Chain A
C-alpha cells in the first residue's frame, strides 16, 4: 500500500496553506522497463583509423571494450603501438599542407557535412555511447550527441571567417595537433577537440580513452562518408602509453589534453623543453552555492543535475554544495527526498537517471573516497534503491557535516557523491568556494541579480552558472583557472587556441 508521509506533529493539520500530503510509493510499483532499442550498429572489431582508412595495428593486438552496465564484451579495439602513432602523424603531416591551403569555404562545408551526418545517425550513436560508457540514454540522446553535432556546426561557419577572429593579427593554422580525450563524454570531447582544430586548418591525431573508443571509431565512418581528405583526422586507440606516444611525438605543433590534473602536470613536464603549444582541461571541485533567497525547488533540481549528471563523471560537477545556513536543513531534506526517487540502473532504459560507473577502477576510487568521508566523520546518506546485480553501479550519495579539510571536500571524486558544507555570509561563501587548487566552474543560486554578478566576479572559476548548472554551448568558452588547466574550448576564445598569430 502507498503510505502517507509522516506529518510533523508541531504543524496542526488545519494550518492554512499547508501542502498536500506527499505520496511515497517506494518500491511498491516499479516502472516497467523502457529500453531504447535502436541498433547501435557495432562491428565486432575496430581497427585504427589512419590516412582515411581502417588499418590493422602493427602490434597485431586488440583489447576488449566492455559494457560497464553488465560487464559484457561489446567489441575488440585495436591496440596502437609506437609505429602506428608514427604512421598516424605521418598521415596528418602529409594532409596538413593541402588542408590548410583549402579555401576556408570548402573546409567549412566538410565540417557542415560532419555535423549533418552525425545528426542523421544520432540515435545509433546515442545507443553506442550509452553501451560503451554507461551513461543514461536520455543524456547521450539529448545531450552528448546533439551537442557534438552542434560543435561541428558552429565551428564549420568559422572556417571562412578567420580574419574576424583576432583583431589586428592574421591567423594561421599551427599544423598537426595531437589530442588526448577522456572517457566521460567520449564523442562530445572528440567534437570539442576536432571541430576547432579543423576549422582553423590543422590536422589531427586523436586518442580516445581506452574504455570508450567505440563512438570515436564509429565517427571515423562518418569521416569517410563525408569524404574528408585522407589524413586530416586520424585515430589511434589504446591506454596511457599510447597517449604518451601521441604527446611525446616530435611532429605535433600543439597538444590538447582533457583529463586529470595529475596527467596534465606530467604532460606539461614532458613538453617543457619543446616548442609545442599546450592546452589543458583538467579536474575540478566546483562549489555550487545556494543562498536563502534562491528558489529552493529549482535549486534542488540544479544541485541534483550538477552532481548526478553522467554519474558525476564530469570535471565541472558541482561536487561541493555550499548552503546558506538559514536554508541548510530545508535543502538537505528536499535533497534526500529527491534522491529517493532517482532511478539508478540500466543506462539504456529511458527512465534511468543514473547509469553505470564507467569502469571497475573508477568504482573502486569512488568507494575509497566515500570510505574516507565516513572515516573523517562526515554523515553519509544514500537512498535504499535497488542496484542491478551485474555491472558497475554506485548509489547517489550525500555527505553532510563536511568540513573544508575533509578529503571529500578537496579531492575530485568523479562520481555521484555530493559533499555539503554551509556558510553564513557572502564573504565566507566566496572564501570557501575559492579555497581549492582547482578553478573550473561554480554555481550560484539566488534571486538577486546583483549578487549573482558580485559572486561571478569574485569566484575564481572559468565558468559560473547562475540559477542553472552544467549548461554547455559551442558558442560559450569553457575552461579553467589555476590547476583546472589553461586554454578554452568553444567560442572565439577556444578557437584562437588552435591558431598561430602572424
Chain B
C-alpha cells in the first residue's frame, strides 16, 4: 500500500507569521489539471488593514537598516529562492506553466532579486546630488523611502511579476502589502515561506491571497499606503487612481504604457526604485 502524502495548508505570510484570514473564509484552488489542490485564505479588507499595521511596525526599522545590510538581505532572498528553485518550478508547472518556461521564470526571479540587491547601496549615488545654489549653502538632494506601498501582482507570471513589483520597492526601505496573483496565488504563498527564512524582518513584505474585486478598493483608499505598484488592467487602474486621489497617493501601473515583458531586462531599472522614493532637499548654511 502506498503512503498517503501529507498535504500542506497554504497560509499567506503577514507580519512575519503565517496567517489565516480573520474572517475564516477560504476558497478552493484547483491545479491546472482541474484537481483539487487546497483551500486558500480569502483575505478581507480587515486582513489588508492588519497587514498595513504589520508593515507600519516594520517600516522604521527596515528604513534605518544600512543600505549594505538591505542589499545583503535581498541577496539572501535570492539564495533562498535559488536553493528551492526545483520546488518552485514544480509548483509553477502544476499550475499550468510549461516546464521550460517555469524554469526560466524562476531563474529570472532569482536574477531580478540579485539585480536589485546590488542597487541597494548605489541608487542614491545615481539619483541624488549636490546642488550648486547661488547662496552660501551646502544644498543636497537625497532620497527617502515613501513608507508602506501596496502591490497588486499580475495574474501571470505569478512569481516573476510579484518579485519584479516588490523588489524595487523594498530595496530602498519601503515596506509592502501585496496581493498575490488571483489566478495562481500559490507561488506567492511558497515565496512567503522563503521570505521567512531569508533574514528579511517580519512585516517588511506581507502577502495576501484573495480577490481583486474585494481588495482593490481598500488598496486604493487606505490612507497609510503611500503608494501603489500594480500590474492591473485599465479598469482596476482607474479605480486605484480614483481612490488614491483622496490622500494624494502615488500610483505606478506596471505595463500601462506598453504590456510588460517580465522576462526582459527592460523591466529592471533604477527608475523603478525611483518611483517609490521621495526627494528631500536640505539647505545647510556654510559659515562660522
Contacts and interface: CB of A to CB of B under 8 A. Distances in A.
Interface of A: 150, 166-169, 261, 264-266, 268-269, 271-273, 275, 280, 282, 437, 449, 452-453, 456, 461-468, 471, 473, 475-479, 481-486, 488, 491-493, 501
A272 B241 contact: yes
Interface of chain B, helix or strand or loop or mixed?
A: mixed
B131 A463 contact: no
A491 B141 contact: yes
Interface string B116-148: 000000000011010111110101010000100
Contact of A491 (B131, B137, B226, B257): B131
Contacts of B141: 476-477, 491, 493
B284 to A, nearest CB: 5
15 contacts: A167-B126, A168-B269, A265-B246, A265-B248, A268-B248, A272-B241, A275-B257, A464-B281, A468-B283, A473-B131, A477-B279, A481-B146, A482-B226, A482-B248, A493-B127
B256 interface: yes
Interface residues of B, number: 36
B131 A501 contact: no
Given A265-B248, A452-B284, A467-B285, 16 more contacts: A168-B269, A169-B271, A268-B244, A271-B241, A437-B247, A453-B284, A461-B280, A462-B278, A466-B282, A473-B134, A477-B279, A479-B279, A483-B247, A484-B248, A485-B248, A486-B248
B250 interface: yes
B46 interface: no
A462 B279 contact: yes
Contact of A168 (B129, B244, B270, B282): B270
B238 A493 contact: no
A463 B283 CA distance: 8
Nearest to A464: B282
B245 interface: yes
A476 B283 contact: yes
Contact of A466 (B127, B132, B247, B284): B284
B280 A492 contact: no
A150 B134 contact: yes
B101 interface: no
Interface in B213-260: 226, 234, 238, 241-242, 244-248, 250, 256-257
A471 B283 contact: yes
A369 to B, nearest CB: 22
Contacts of B238: 272-273
A347 B135 CA distance: 26
A123 B192 CA distance: 65
A476 B281 CA distance: 7
B140 to A, nearest CB: 9
A261 B245 CA distance: 10
B186 to A, nearest CB: 32
Given A265-B248, A272-B241, A462 B134 contact: no
B242 A272 contact: yes
Given A275-B257, A462-B281, A466-B282, A471 B135 contact: yes
Nearest to A494: B279
B139 A268 contact: no
Interface of chain A, helix or strand or loop or mixed?
A: mixed
Given A456-B280, A476-B141, A275 B256 contact: yes
Contacts of A466: 282-285
7 closest pairs, A vs B, by CB? Answer: A268-B245, A272-B241, A473-B133, A475-B131, A273-B238, A272-B242, A456-B282
A396 B238 CA distance: 45
Nearest to B127: A493
A483 B248 contact: yes
Nearest to A462: B280
A167 B250 CA distance: 23
B248 A492 contact: no
Contacts of A501: 271
A358 B280 CA distance: 30
Nearest to A478: B281
Nearest to A449: B284
Contact of A475 (B132, B226, B246): B132
Interface in B91-136: 126-127, 129, 131-135
A429 to B, nearest CB: 16
B283 A475 contact: no
Contacts of B245: 265-266, 268-269, 272
A285 to B, nearest CB: 14
Contacts of A456: 280, 282, 284
B281 A268 contact: no
Nearest to B242: A272
A261 B255 CA distance: 28
Contacts of A272: 238, 241-242, 245
Contacts of B278: 462, 481
A166 B126 CA distance: 9
B282 to A, nearest CB: 5
